Amino acid sequence: MTLDIRDLSFSYRAGFLNNRLCPVLKGLNLELDSGEIGILLGKNGAGKTTLLKNILGIEKPDSGSVLIDGTDVLKMRRADRAKLISYVPQIIDFGDLTVYDTVMTGRISYMGLSPSRSDREAVEKILNDMALSDLADRSVEKLSGGERQKIAIARALVQDPKLLIFDEPTANLDISNEALVDTEMVRAARERGVAVMASLHDLNQAMVIGDRFFFLSNGHVVRHGGKEIISEELIEEVYGVSVKIMETGNTKFILRKEIQR
């Protein structure tokens, strides 16, 4: 699977008559392949969430397109799009469902009037793969933030998607829960061959899990590539803050040098 974003422009509409355009994405290009983890980076307000919404078909571009293996996502039937692309929200409110039933809601685009044997098998397999079987009958509300986020990932993966979208998936989690979620993102890419696209604000977390990095600024991807593109100059240019980069093994650590004056 290839995600191919071509010349994508998007504006929000504001004002009394919805006639004032606020351009956010201005002819943006991006490509991501199966099995890769792509990380969207850029200052708050750069347009990361807006781009993810355009990929999901929640927002419609003014011009340009989001193609999956050459097919425009907006031309797909909603159920077909849901099978290809899954979204893991940052804050999840499952209500009072059990873990099993919550994950089953991920099968809705496959289901007839009620879950079939193959739906039940798919749910059981994913719970087993993600070591969640012991929690199957527990209420999601009673679980920790990290466990809940894992269940959101299980619900997304049970759709058997080709592309998994995360918007700041660990923004509310402590370091151990962040590690749980990161592990599942990496497993989805490496073991299932899913393309993962995530927006992150933590550059060091991005370095640990990312394969491809896309820096958004002024409505464009201003730089993209593997870890080799990450430099003190680039971070300074995109975020306007001086940093020191330390390299150990395969990882780069980004340290902020000083407070803003």
3-state secondary structure of 93: coil
Q: Which of 18, 19, 44, 114 binds ligand ADP (CB under 6 A)?
A: 44
Q: Which of 7, 20, 21, 22 binds ligand ADP (CB under 6 A)?
A: 22
Interface with ligand ADP (CB under 6 A), residue total: 12
Residue 138 or 223: which CB sits closer to ligand ADP?
Answer: 223
Stretch that binds ligand ADP, among 40-48, 119-127, 140-148, 153-161 (CB under 6 A): 40-48
Q: Are 166 and 158 in contact (CB under 8 A)?
A: no
Check residue 241 for interaction with ligand ADP (CB under 6 A).
no
Check residue 24 for interaction with ligand ADP (CB under 6 A).
yes
For residue 49, the minimal CB distance to ligand ADP (Å) is 3
Check residue 220 for interaction with ligand ADP (CB under 6 A).
no
Site string for ligand ADP, 97-136 (x = CB under 6 A): ----------------------------------------
Token pair listed for 173: 């989690």
Q: Which of 42, 61, 146, 161 binds ligand ADP (CB under 6 A)?
A: 42
- Per the DSSP assignment, residues forming a β-bridge with 184 are none
Check residue 169 for interaction with ligand ADP (CB under 6 A).
no
Q: Identity (one letter) of the amino acid at 41?
A: L
Return the number of other C-beta atoms located less than 10 Å from residue 139's C-beta.
15
The order of strands in the sheet holding 220-225 is 85-88, 163-167, 195-199, 37-41, 212-217, 220-225
Stretch that binds ligand ADP, among 39-47, 85-93, 151-159, 227-235 (CB under 6 A): 39-47
Residue 123 or 200: which CB sits closer to ligand ADP?
Answer: 200
Token pair listed for 122: 């798919």
Q: Which of residues 45-64 bind ligand ADP (CB under 6 A)?
A: 45-50
Q: Could you give the angle at which helices 145-157 and 117-129 cross, rounded to 10 degrees?
A: 140
Helical ranges in 109-220 per DSSP H = 117-129, 145-157, 175-192, 203-209
Degrees to nearest 5, angle at CA 234 with 42 and 250 = 95
Compute the half-sphere exposure of residue 159: CA atoms within 13 Å on the CB side of its CA: 26
Residues that bind ligand ADP (CB under 6 A): 12, 14, 22, 24, 42, 44-50
